[in-house]
Amino acid sequence: MTTVIMLFILPLGIILYFFDKKTYRANIETFNAYVEKIKASDLEVEEKRFKIDAMYYENGYHISAYKEGLRVCKKHFNPGVLLIFFGVGSYLGPLLYAIYYFKLLKPICHDIEFS
């Protein structure tokens, strides 16, 4: 059974890992384009902050405000990494991934300036 897992799940995890990295970059570019569009609009600063805050909140980011802008952070779940852990570690893989995700993975943060 472990050989079957290694033959199918590990390569699938590697493929998903790189696919998710590519789509994550595209999503970040989409977020940045939206932020630039809102920043260039004729809205008041508080309205801009509210719209950008709402967009990030709806996408699962933790938002903290500071004087000049917003700081948004999120841990990125990559299913490819989960499958790689499962393929390499067989039945202990999901447990190892949970430890990795909750204890070792650092959130990715973006600072948004309104000046």
Q: By the 8 A CB rule, do 114 and 48 touch? A: yes
Read off the pLDDT band of 115 (50, 70, 90). low
pLDDT at 112 > cutoff 90: no
DSSP annotation of 90: G
> 36: exposed, middle or buried (C-beta count within 10 Å: 0-12, 13-18, 19+)?
exposed
Read off the pLDDT band of 43 (50, 70, 90). confident
Q: What is the pLDDT of residues 54-107, one digit of tens each?
A: 898 898 888 887 777 788 888 888 888 888 888 877 778 888 888 989 999 898
Q: What is the pLDDT of residue 26?
A: 93
Distance CA 63, CA 67 (A): 13
DSSP annotation of 1: -
Domain boundaries, the chain: 2-113
pTM of the complete model: 0.73
pLDDT at 7 > cutoff 90: no
